[in-house]
Amino acid sequence: MSWDTLELSATGADSFTWDNGLGSGTTITVVPSSSMVYEVTGTDGNGCVNSDQVTVTVNLNPTISVSSTQNPSSCNASDGFITIGSGGTGNLEWTGPISGSVNNVTLPFITSGLGSGSYTFSFTDANGCAAQNISGTIVDPNSPDEPLISQGDTISFCQGQSVDLTSSYVSGNTWSTNELTQTISVSTVGSYSVYYTDPSGCVSAEAFIEVVESAPSNINTNGNVSICLGEDATLNASGASNYVWDNGAGSGASVTVSPSANTTYVVTGIDANGCQAQGEVSLVVNSLPVVTTAADFSICSGSTASLSAIGASSYSWDNNGGNGSNISVSPNMTTTYTVTGTDVNGCTNTDEIIVTVIPLPTVSITPSTLDTICFSGAESISLTGNPSGGAFYGPGVSGNVFDPGSLGTTGAFTIDYVYSGSNGCVGVSSLEAVIVSCLSLSETIADDLILSPNPNNGIFSVSGLTENSDFSIFDATGRIVLSGTIHSSKSSKFLINVETGIYFLHGISGGKQTVVRFVVNN
Task: State the pLDDT at residue 12.
Answer: 84
**How far is residue 337's CA from residue 358's CA, in Å, rounded to a whole number?**
17
**How far is residue 23's CA from residue 511's CA, in Å, rounded to a whole number?**
142
**What does the angle CA 349 – CA 353 – CA 359 come to, to the nearest 5 degrees?**
160
Q: Please state the pTM of the whole predicted model.
A: 0.50
Range 222-228 average pLDDT: 93
pLDDT exceeds 70 at position 437: no
Percent of the chain clearing pLDDT 70 (strictly above): 95
Q: Give 141's pLDDT tier (boundaries 50, 70, 90).
A: confident
pLDDT exceeds 80 at position 443: no
Task: State the pLDDT at residue 440.
Answer: 46
Q: Give 439's pLDDT tier (boundaries 50, 70, 90).
A: very low
Which domains are delineated in the chain? 6-56 (no CATH), 65-138 (2.60.40), 154-213 (no CATH), 220-286 (2.60.40.10), 292-358 (2.60.40.10), 364-436 (2.60.40), 440-520 (2.60.40.3580)
pLDDT, tens digit, for every residue of 489-498? 888 888 999 8
pLDDT exceeds 80 at position 235: yes
**How far is residue 42's CA from residue 393's CA, in Å, rounded to a whole number?**
119
pLDDT, tens digit, for every residue of 367-415? 888 766 666 556 788 999 999 999 999 999 999 999 888 887 777 889 9
**What does the angle CA 388 – CA 394 – CA 395 come to, to the nearest 5 degrees?**
140
**How far is residue 136's CA from residue 95's CA, in Å, rounded to a whole number?**
10
Main-chain phi, psi angles of 439, to 5 degrees: -60, -35
Task: State the pLDDT at residue 373.
Answer: 67
pLDDT, tens digit, for every residue of 81-138? 999 998 889 999 999 889 999 999 999 999 999 988 889 999 999 888 888 999 888 8
Q: State the DSSP code for 115.
A: P
Mean pLDDT of the chain: 88
Range 445-472 average pLDDT: 86
Task: State the pLDDT at residue 446.
Answer: 66
Task: State the pLDDT at residue 436.
Answer: 65
Range 149-178 average pLDDT: 91
pLDDT, tens digit, for every residue of 288-335? 999 999 899 999 999 999 999 999 999 999 999 899 999 999 999 999
Task: State the pLDDT at residue 128.
Answer: 86
453 cis-preceded (ω within 30 degrees of 0): yes
**How far is residue 402's CA from residue 404's CA, in Å, rounded to a whole number?**
6
Range 441-448 average pLDDT: 60
**How far is residue 388's CA from residue 93's CA, in Å, rounded to a whole number?**
132
Task: State the pLDDT at residue 404.
Answer: 83
Task: State the pLDDT at residue 434.
Answer: 75
Give every CB contact of residue 491 below 8 A, 6+ residues apart in sequence: 461, 462, 463
Task: State the pLDDT at residue 435.
Answer: 74
pLDDT, tens digit, for every residue of 44-63? 888 898 888 888 887 788 89
Q: Name residue 218's amino acid.
A: N
More confident residue, 285 or 143: 285
The C-alpha torsion from 165 through 171 and 172 to 173, rounded to 10°, is 10
Main-chain phi, psi angles of 79, to 5 degrees: -120, 20
